[in-house]
Amino acid sequence: MADLSTDCAGIKSPNPFWLASAPPANSGEQVMRAFEYGWGGAVWKTLGQDPAVINTTSRYGAVDIGGMKMAGFNNIELITDRPLEDNLKEIYEVKKRFPKHAVVASLMVPCERKAWHDIVKRCLDTGCDGFELNFGCPHGMSERGMGAAVGQVPEYIKMVTEYVKEKSTIPVLVKLTPNITDVRYAARAAKQGGADGVSLINTINSIMGVDLETMKPKFAVGGKISHGGYCGPAVKPIALNMVSQIATDPETRGLPISGIGGISTWADAVEFMLLGSSSVQLCTAVMHYGFRIVEELNAGLEDWMERQGFEKLEDFIGKTAPSVVDWKTLNLHQKTVASIDHATCIGCDLCFVACNDTAHQCITIEKKNGNRKPIVIEEDCVGCNLCSLVCPVDGCITMAEIKTGHKPLSWEDYTKNGFAGYKEVYKRMHG
Ligand SMILES: Cc1cc2nc3c(=O)[nH]c(=O)nc-3n(C[C@H](O)[C@H](O)[C@H](O)COP(=O)(O)O)c2cc1C
């Protein structure tokens, strides 16, 4: 049987599935129930010392895409509004009952050394396994100089991480905001401050829409809204990119990562792990379907590992990261063309329209006996994938690799030969 246990920055858990810091991990009763279902760890809903944590109604919003409910989820919630003492007592109780599970205290206090020292010292008494510094929440608390207001300034990330490391005797994860230009600077600052690892992503600034009847923002509070934080399945590709950026950056390579953002299935989780995450955190999927999804997560991961011949998570964590490279090194001689299976084609014309109106005009329609048959003009096809992406029939349009006989050649190789080299390859590819 595959071993699902993990060690993320020194925080150990029986499996890599952790509740993200959010409403599902807001009390001891919830976290214990989640552990009974099979969750490996929990990052507690962010703790602070701000007496004015007062939430609005409404506070959540969502976009449904096609038949998918909550494809994107939005919130304007603050950190926990429960008393710190209650949370600390419950963390202590959870750790006593579940000593092998990971319990991570998420923290957010003002950027003052004493405030961080105080909360770290109080939390250490609970026996929690690690800290996660919330430098990510983009709404509400950021207006008070916390959360994303810290995570958007590398100097502050480094400074506050140092404050925490001065007192912490347990591992420290820094939770990063995606609301920045280049996440690598934030991760480097966390590392320089002494972080044992990073977790990402927190939520993305968002407005969920406007009601066209009232012309007020959707999910408003008395007709008004402030931007919220976006998460759920829609954000997964953004999170995967940021995880891979940190996993491949020479300055942070090897820094443990807890991957977060749009994970709903074991397969999503494996993608995060292949790109470098040693634990994964879930919020929206749990808020949508409940704690029970972890049974499927554990079983699916175990099955996949057995099929692949992996005995433990380290056998594959980060395996895909080296395949994420700079564009300039991609092989320009790689050639794929669309191939249409006419037995399954329903003649909807979407591939033709997409190619003809918006891509490279390399599909024609053959009309015979009242039937319309799309035909790919192979020599013109640039292999952009668009027709296969718009095709409503699974497997009807596939992209087939063509052997060109040319040696791999990248943009970097081109420029070594100067513009002459570029012209020659362009001619070879485009005639
Ligand atoms: C309602 C709600 C409340 C959240 N509260 C917190 C919080 O207190 N601290 C924190 O670090 N992140 C918070 N988050 C962000 C999540 O921990 C997570 O980073 C984000 O939702 C992305 O994961 P997901 O796509 O699985 O939801 C919250 C998210 C939601 C939806």
Kindly tell me the burial class for residue 147, based on how many C-beta atoms sit within 10 Å of its own C-beta (0-12, 13-18, 19 or more): buried
Atom of ligand 1 nearest to the CA of 236: 25
Single out the residue of 245, 318, 246 nearest to residue 277, CA to CA: 318
SS3 state of residue 284? helix
The per-residue pLDDT for 407 is 87
Nearest CA to ligand 1 atom 14: 22
Single out the residue of 286, 198, 282 nearest to residue 244, CA to CA: 198
Kindly tell me the burial class for residue 284, based on how many C-beta atoms sit within 10 Å of its own C-beta (0-12, 13-18, 19 or more): buried
pLDDT along the chain (431 residues), means of 10: 97 98 98 98 94 89 96 96 97 98 96 96 98 90 85 95 98 97 97 98 96 96 94 98 98 98 98 98 98 98 98 98 96 94 96 96 93 94 97 97 88 75 66 59
Tokens of 328: 């300039």
Q: List the domain boundaries for the chain.
A: 6-323, 327-430
Single out the residue of 37, 77, 75 nearest to residue 54, CA to CA: 77
Contact by Cβ (8 Å): 111, 145: yes
Distance from the CA of 237 to the center of ligand 1, in angstroms?
17
The per-residue pLDDT for 48 is 95
Give, for ligand 1, the residue of 78, 106, 231, 272 to mutate: max count of ligand atoms closer than 8 Å to Cβ. 231
Q: With a 6 A CB cut-off, is 136 part of the ligand 1 pocket?
A: yes
The per-residue pLDDT for 428 is 66
- For 107, phi and psi rounded to 5 degrees? -125, 145
Edge-first strand order for the sheet with 68-75 is: 60-65, 68-75, 228-231, 204-206
Atom of ligand 1 nearest to the CA of 21: 17
Residues with active-site annotation: 137
- For 93, phi and psi rounded to 5 degrees? -65, -40
Architecture of domain 327-430: 2-Layer Sandwich (3.30)
The per-residue pLDDT for 420 is 61
What whole-number distance in Å separates Cα of residue 13 and Cα of residue 11? 7
Tokens of 237: 């590709």
Q: With a 6 A CB cut-off, is 233 part of the ligand 1 pocket?
A: no
Distance from the CA of 75 to the center of ligand 1, in angstroms?
8
> Which CATH superfamily groups domain 6-323?
Aldolase class I (3.20.20.70)
Residue spans of beta strands (DSSP E) within 66-134:
68-75, 102-107, 130-134
Nearest CA to ligand 1 atom 23: 261
The per-residue pLDDT for 429 is 63
What whole-number distance in Å separates Cα of residue 298 and Cα of residue 17? 8
The per-residue pLDDT for 430 is 62
